[in-house]
Amino acid sequence: MRLKDKVAFITGAGGPMGEAIAIRFAEEGAKLVITDISEKRLNSTREKLLEYTVADNIVAIRASVLDYEEVKEVVEEANQTFSKIDILVNVVGGIRDTTMIRPIFEIDSDRWDNTMELNLKGTFNCTKLVAPKMIQYGYGKIVNISTIHFDGEKGYADYGAAKAGVASFTKTAAKELSPVINVNCIAPGLIQTSIVDRMDSETLEEYRKKTLLGRLGNPIDVANTALFLASDESAYITGHIIPVSGGIWPHL
């Protein structure tokens, strides 16, 4: 089992992507610390995880990763329960708007600020709180989630800019936390999550045609990549951005 005896902290575990990562890690023997801002979604993920592991291997705490003190409480609980955190997967992100695609002139300051905070602050908070213990323990893997659109895409000025920040943060963290911690970033294309529900059929079809594989991604596609980056198979990989996008490549 690729993650046997490892402890993984996964944020946004109540969403499709976070849930898929948590389940995939459980299948490979990891003990799990999972959070989500929604108690309902978090409990749903926890119930599904019980098909793959025992309750003693799961710490599930409702928390907002945007709140430093709440994250601190989660990290303290994880360390009290499991004595360590080996792996951190920063999943939380997205756009808080009924409409995903908006040109620059239609993005108000509230949406801009919310998007920056949602995609960057949680990654920063969790990394800052988890990394010191990893360094003390002498081992750590951090996996961040960016987007294939960090190189610029019409209608995603705020989201692309925020996720470009996640990609840049990944590279800086890899340098500052080396040689103990491997820090890498996944850049997904359009994945079958709630985001798809906020997009019209014409846009979705246009995106499908852009991919070499002719389909949207599934959460398991991201989960399998996260598993690789969280495992010892990626021991000589750090500071990299890995596209999971059906053949679309970002260039910045």
Say yes or no to pLDDT of 60 above 70.
yes
pLDDT tens digit sequence for 195-204: 777 777 887 7
- Which residues are bridge partners to 179 per DSSP? none
Predicted TM-score (pTM) of the model is: 0.94
* Residue range(s) defining the domain that contains residue 83: 7-244
Q: Does residue 186 belong to any structural domain of this protein?
A: yes
Q: Does residue 2 belong to any structural domain of this protein?
A: no
Mean pLDDT for the stretch of residues 53-63: 99
CATH number at residue 232: 3.40.50.720
pLDDT tens digit sequence for 209-233: 888 998 889 999 999 999 999 999 9
Q: Does residue 250 belong to any structural domain of this protein?
A: no
Looking at residue 99, what is its pLDDT?
78
Looking at residue 37, what is its pLDDT?
97
State the Cα torsion 25-30-36-38 to the nearest 10°. 80
Q: Does residue 249 belong to any structural domain of this protein?
A: no
Domain count for the chain: 1
Q: Do strands 87-90 and 140-145 pair parallel, antiparallel, or not at all (unpaired)? A: parallel
Do the Cβ atoms of 159 and 95 come closer than 8 Å? yes
Identify the active-site residue in 139, 159, 207, 236. 159
Q: Does residue 231 belong to any structural domain of this protein?
A: yes
Known catalytic residue at 156:
no
Q: Does residue 1 belong to any structural domain of this protein?
A: no
Mean pLDDT for the stretch of residues 167-180: 98
Residues 6 or more apart from 25 whose CB is under 8 A from it? Answer: 3, 8, 10, 32, 87, 226, 227, 230
Mean pLDDT for the stretch of residues 85-100: 91
Do the Cβ atoms of 249 and 243 come closer than 8 Å? yes
pLDDT confidence band for 192 (50 / 70 / 90)? confident
Say yes or no to pLDDT of 128 above 50.
yes
Q: 54-63, 173-182, 208-217, 228-237: lowest mean pLDDT where?
A: 208-217
pLDDT tens digit sequence for 111-126: 999 999 999 999 999 9
Say yes or no to pLDDT of 251 above 60.
no
Looking at residue 206, what is its pLDDT?
81
Q: Does residue 251 belong to any structural domain of this protein?
A: no
Looking at residue 126, what is its pLDDT?
99
Q: Does residue 83 belong to any structural domain of this protein?
A: yes
What's the token pair of residue 166?
Answer: 């996640």
pLDDT confidence band for 252 (50 / 70 / 90)? very low
Say yes or no to pLDDT of 161 above 50.
yes
Q: Coil, strand, or helix at residue 211?
A: coil
Looking at residue 250, what is its pLDDT?
60
Q: What is the mean pLDDT of the chain?
A: 93
How far apart (Å, rounded) are the C-alpha atoms in residues 157 and 18? 24
Which has the higher per-residue pLDDT, 215 or 249? 215
Mean pLDDT for the stretch of residues 5-32: 98
